Structure 1
Amino acid sequence: MQYANLGRSGLKVSPLCLGTMNFGPFTSEEDSFAIMDAALDAGVNFFDSANVYGRHLGRGATETIVGKWFAQGGGRREKTVLATKLYGDMTDWPNDGKLSALNIRKACDASLKRLQTDYIDLYQAHHVDRNTPYEEFWEAMDVLRGQGKIVYVGTSNFAGWHLAKAQEEARRRGSLGVVSEQSHYNLLTRAVELEVLPAAEDYGIGVIPWSPLAGGLLGGVLRKLDKGRSASEMMLSELAKHRGTIEAYETFCDELGLDPAHVALAWLLEQRAVVAPIIGPRTMEQFTGSLPALEITLDEQALAGLDEIFPGHRTAPEDYAW
């Protein structure tokens, strides 16, 4: 396993991040434990969660499963770079969500309790809070760092100008600032190439793409349907919108002799500022099936071919100006 620095930080993380969103709602506690053990055995040390994950089991259920796994000992917590997020409303009360200093304090303590740990390696804002100034956000995060409850701060779903504004306020305060940004990024969804990726690269922020397989569309969906696999109505609806592109993609992957899911992950790892795509397996097979992507290096011809199928963006303003 080749580890990389998370942005400009000294923190070393694996080139795949294990997303835990399915743990609990779709993956049993027992199977979740097995997948996390397999991840560490494979050298995947970067795990991502969020306080709101849990779906029908209730918010916090996924963090609770991760915490029970840590409680087994065996160096599990020490080997894991633990990332979680806050922002979503945990209850109907007005201060149990977003990024106020009060909620940052309360949400962190609640996550620590569920996760059965005394610190979070990467504490991430799950979304922009337009009603909380960055002065308040950084003051609260700096307090948590001073208390030893968090080590690094990250963001998710921020625009390029949000990153710039956050970083400039952190710089003014003498704080380290943001070291990572989770963005929706894959071959089909490339808007972050306009300004988020250039901003991240300039500020030394590592990008962690979520939904790297576009909800399964880039995972060989046509092959699977041909073999009789079922698909959700949402998947079939999205496939109908992009069928021609997906057909061209799977044909191209056949020409390369590579699995479409592996190509999608390998492509992300070639992109500027990207550190580790998030894989969110429901099963052990899905987890182990992602690992071969780390052995793939796409040459310039393959990258150019993918750009022809999935046109991307040049850096703003060049994308929409002369």
Structure 2
Amino acid sequence: MQHGHLGRSGVLVSRLALGTMNFGMTADENQSAAVMDAAIDSGVTFFDTADVYGGPQSPDMTAGYGISEEIVGRWLKRTGRRDDIVLATKVYQPMGAGPNDRRLSAFHIRRACEASLRRLQTDHIDLYQMHHVDRSTPWEEVWQAMDQLVREGKITYVGSSNFAGWDIATAQGHAARHGGLGLVSEQSIYNLSERSIEREVVPAAEYHGVGILPWSPLDGGLLAGAPDDPRAGRRGGDGAAGASLRAERLRPQLTRWVALCRELGEPAADVAVAWLLGREAVSAVLVGSRTREQLRASLHALDVTLDADALRAIDAIWPGPGAAPEAYAW
């Protein structure tokens, strides 16, 4: 297993991170435990979850929330492997019907962290990530809450998820004024067919030493060479019909993509992940495996080497937006 620093921090994480969104939803507890066993046996030392995972991803429904953390927590207690992993979870999403059961007020951050610790059956979270930006809460309040949790030993590092480039810059500016480390990572949707973050998020992250953690590296399965799979794109929330429309719209590119991967002699999924691993800003790529076989198959991406010709061919099929402002102004 390859390891690298999480952003500018000193901690090392496996280049592939185990995403656990499927735990409690499409993978039951036994299946989830088998995936975690396979992950740790394969050298994956970075596990990512969220307080909201395990239930329906809807702001109006909270039944089942916390299940993923509970499954991870029971596995950690049973195996005794807590000290072998860098454990990440998230805060922001609704965890109840009350007005303060969501977002990033100091009130909610404290209670959400303590609830996550109970579900995970641990005394500390290594990477505590804001699942979304909350522009209704001042950064002074957010960092006060996070700094307090660090002082209490309940969290070690703070990360973000789904932030805009200017959100990262603003967060880092406020943290620096108080002598804090600030964000060490940003978890964003990032894959060959969705490269929007290269315009401003990636440049901001690189400038501030924030490591990118791509989620949906295969764009819901489209980049794995399965454009007709009705389950593709499910995380985007557009359902099977929307996924089929997206696959149809991208069909010319997907056809060229599959042909290129055949020329390279590598599975399309592994080429897509290898491309992300080669991006300078990327610390680790999240793989949301539902079975041991899927997890073990994804490890091959670490062995895929893309030379300059391959990278040019990939860019020709999936061109990026370019960095702002040069991408659209002189």
Q: Does the alignment reach a TM-score above 0.5?
A: yes
Q: What one-letter code is carried by the residue in structure 2 that aligns with 1:159?
A: A
Tell me which residue corresponds to 1:62. Answer: 68
SS of residue in 2 equivalent to 1:286:
helix
Q: Aligned to 2:101, which of 91, 96, 99? A: 96
Question: Alpha-carbon deviation of 1:230?
Answer: 6.5
User: C-alpha distance in 2, partners of 1:230/1:243?
Assistant: 14
Q: What one-letter code is carried by the residue in structure 2 that aligns with 1:61?
A: I
Question: Alpha-carbon deviation of 1:234?
Answer: 4.2
Tell me which residue corresponds to 1:133. Answer: 138
Question: Alpha-carbon deviation of 1:238?
Answer: 2.0
Tell me which residue corresponds to 1:272. Answer: 280
What's the CA shift string for 1:168-217, capped at 9, x where partnerless? 10000111100000011000000100111111111110000000000000
Number of equivalences: 316
What's the CA shift string for 1:53-107, capped at 9, x where partnerless? 1125611011000000011133x11101000001001111000100000000000
Structure 2 residue 286 is the aligned partner of structure 1 residue 281:
no
SS of residue in 1 equivalent to 2:132:
coil
User: C-alpha distance in 2, partners of 1:141/1:230?
Assistant: 41
- 2:34, 2:291 within 8 Å by CA — same for their partners in 1? no
Identity, in percent, stands at: 55
Q: Aligned to 1:308, which of 302, 316, 322? A: 316
- 2:13, 2:46 within 8 Å by CA — same for their partners in 1? yes
TM-score by length of 1: 0.96
Q: Aligned to 2:210, which of 205, 211, 231? A: 205
SS of residue in 2 equivalent to 1:221:
coil
Question: Alpha-carbon deviation of 1:236?
Answer: 2.2
Question: Alpha-carbon deviation of 1:241?
Answer: 1.6
User: C-alpha distance in 2, partners of 1:254/1:195?
Assistant: 33
TM-score by length of 2: 0.93
Tell me which residue corresponds to 1:193. Answer: 198
User: C-alpha distance in 1, partners of 2:325/2:9?
Assistant: 28
Q: What one-letter code is carried by the residue in structure 2 that aligns with 1:85?
A: K
Question: Alpha-carbon deviation of 1:309?
Answer: 0.2
For residues 280-299 of structure 1, the aligned pairs below 5 Å read 280-299=288-307
Identify which range, 147-156 or 282-291, moves more after superposition.
282-291
Question: Alpha-carbon deviation of 1:314?
Answer: 1.8
Q: What one-letter code is carried by the residue in structure 2 that aligns with 1:186?
A: N
Structure 2 residue 265 is the aligned partner of structure 1 residue 251:
no
Aligned-residue Cα RMSD (Å) equals 1.2
Question: Alpha-carbon deviation of 1:235?
Answer: 3.3
Tell me which residue corresponds to 2:118. Answer: 113
Q: Aligned to 2:171, which of 166, 178, 185? A: 166
Tell me which residue corresponds to 1:18. Answer: 18
Question: Alpha-carbon deviation of 1:272?
Answer: 2.6
- 1:197, 1:272 within 8 Å by CA — same for their partners in 2? no
